[in-house]
Amino acid sequence: MFTSLNSPTKPRSPSLLLTPYLGSLHSFLKESASAKRFRVTGSGKIMRRKCGKQHLLGKKNAKRRNRLSKSVQVHRSDYNNVVGALPYLKVNRKN
């Protein structure tokens, strides 16, 4: 005796399982948050701000605060992630 729980289910057709979604694909959307955090120099280097200068500044000495104010170049290990987030950035793309 088969109930609805014990009855064998009919396998789904493969066309339903492998149907690709072809909705509106937005290609090359820039990430606005990334655009505000990175700058490009005239020679094409990507610069970023140093972390650690947002709060608790009273315990940090002036030399340290000045050092944290400066911009530094994006490290080579992070370069591809930054360039991928900003498709309209005017840099030489490294592969």
pLDDT band for 20, please (50, 70, 90 cuts).
low
- Number of structural domains (the chain) is 1
Instruction: Report if residue 32 sits inside a domain.
Output: no
- The phi-psi region of residue 37 (left if phi > 0; otherwise alpha if psi is between -120 and 50; otherwise beta) is alpha
pLDDT band for 49, please (50, 70, 90 cuts).
very high
Residue 56 predicted with pLDDT over 90? yes
* CA distances from residue 41 to 17, 18, 91 in whole angstroms, order as listed: 48, 46, 9
Output the pLDDT for position 70.
96
pLDDT band for 84, please (50, 70, 90 cuts).
confident
pLDDT, average across residues 21-45: 75
Instruction: Report if residue 60 sits inside a domain.
Output: yes
Whether 47 contacts 89, CB under 8 Å = no
Instruction: Report if residue 51 sits inside a domain.
Output: yes
Instruction: Report if residue 59 sits inside a domain.
Output: yes
Q: Which helix (H) or strand (E) holds 39?
A: strand 38-40
Instruction: Report if residue 37 sits inside a domain.
Output: no
Question: Which residues make Cβ contacts (< 8 Å) with residue 87, sequence separation at least 6?
Answer: 28, 29, 30
Instruction: Report if residue 34 sits inside a domain.
Output: no
Domain hosting 55: range is: 47-89
